[in-house]
Amino acid sequence: MAHASVDDQHSSGDELPASSRPSAGAQSGGSHASTVPKEPSTDTGALSVRPPDKDAARRAAVRDQAVAAKPALPRFLQVVVALFFPVIVVAAAVRAVATSSFLWLEYHRPGFPADQFGFSLDDRMTYGSYALDYVVNLAPPRYLGGLVTPEGDPLFLESEVDHMADVKGVLGLSFLIALVLFVLAVLACVYLARKYKGGVRRALFSGAVLTLVGIAVLTVLAVLAWETFFTQVHALFFANGTWTFRIDDTLIRLFPEQFWTDSAVTIAVLVLAAIILTLALTWPTRARRERSMLAQEAAQARYREALEAS
């Protein structure tokens, strides 16, 4: 019986009140809280912070302004191409006249004055071709100074050779400048074609209009006072007394006044033809303006998307 009472005591001693027994969570927390760190939260919502509405609106306005703004560089390049256009076209026309082919047409056209001092048509064609070739090639002055007549006399006077050397220098520099401007204009047009839709058409159209105005003014001056116009053009490039010769000098016999009149008319016709062709191809018709506008809007849309994605 004593044994049974002892067991009862042990049983009753093991039974603690419910309020004094630690819970499972408390036991677990007590044994692991100081050794096992909490796992980081996997919720990424806190990482994406939405900007305030005012800031988003401001950024959208900046993007729209950047897209809608008229770029300065393309507009500058349009002006450059328009200004270069007259120089390039006139230089090309002058180069077309300074050829033996034009000389042949002149000597064979009806009404061209014959040489009253004895040059035959073959003589003129031969000697005149030497003179024109000299002003566009790289030969030294002896190219002309070494020519002699059938009698053994120098064909050109020293003053004539000196003047042709001056002409050679002026034309050479002019053609070089025109070539450089042509290359720059082509590069500008390539940039405009890629970055500013319709820019090439507007630049060439403006250049053609500018050239048309210039050629009209020069034509009026030449028609009203040819002698004065001819004198002033020569005085602009050559020193006084270096470009006037006697009527029986070789240069005058090969290139009489009629030759220079016809040359000026031919240059004007060639320039006018280039202007008309350019205007026909670049005239701002409604269809061309709409195509340019749609192409530019598409380019702006792509630019806006790129800004938004950045």
* 49-58, 94-103, 140-149: the lowest-pLDDT one: 49-58
Which is nearest to 91 in space by CA: 185, 177, 206, 214?
A: 177
What's phi and psi for 148, nearest 5 deg?
Answer: -130, 160
Indicate if the pLDDT at residue 280 is higher than 70.
yes
Does residue 181 or residue 290 have the better pLDDT?
181
pLDDT at position 285: 84
pLDDT at position 1: 42
Residue with tokens 């820019």: 199
Indicate if the pLDDT at residue 88 is higher than 50.
yes
Mean pLDDT value of segment 16-43: 47
CB contact at 8 A, 78 and 199: yes
Indicate if the pLDDT at residue 39 is higher than 70.
no
Q: What confidence tier does 26 reach under pLDDT thresholds 50, 70, 90?
A: very low
Indicate if the pLDDT at residue 8 is higher than 50.
no
> Domain ranges in the chain?
71-284
pLDDT at position 14: 44
**DSSP conformation class of 21:** S
- pTM metric for this prediction: 0.72
pLDDT, tens digit, for every residue of 117-126?
Answer: 999 999 999 9
pLDDT at position 52: 60
pLDDT at position 71: 76
pLDDT at position 291: 76
